[in-house]
Amino acid sequence: MSAFGVYMNLPDNDIEVEVEYTYDPGEPDQWYDSNGDPGTPGTAPSIEILHIWAELPNEGLKLTAVDIVDIIPSNWADEIETEILENHHE
């Protein structure tokens, strides 16, 4: 798996963020093994979000890159994952 980055806006917000993630392309269904035994079901593509960087003002009102991955609502993370999976290109 490789790490990738993408710029996007947070859901319901105009803050642009950079999302760093790993991508697993999944595996196709295998109906039968080479010896004729039943195969295995495939797995869907998936990602793991590593960081979500946002530039936010600090106390001196200067923009600072902040990793917000642990503080965003879970529904935002779900939307970000869905958008990345729909648009990922290696």
Q: Is the pLDDT of residue 50 over 90?
A: yes
pLDDT score of 9: 73
Work out the pLDDT band at 15, boundaries 50, 70, 90.
confident
Percent pLDDT > 90 in the chain is 24
What does DSSP say about strands 16-24 and 3-9: parallel, antiparallel, or unpaired? Answer: antiparallel
Which residues of 1-90 form beta strands (DSSP E)? 3-9, 16-24, 30-32, 38-40, 46-57, 63-67
Mean pLDDT of the chain: 85
Burial of 88 (0-12, 13-18, 19+ CB in 10 A): middle
So where are the chain's domains? 3-87
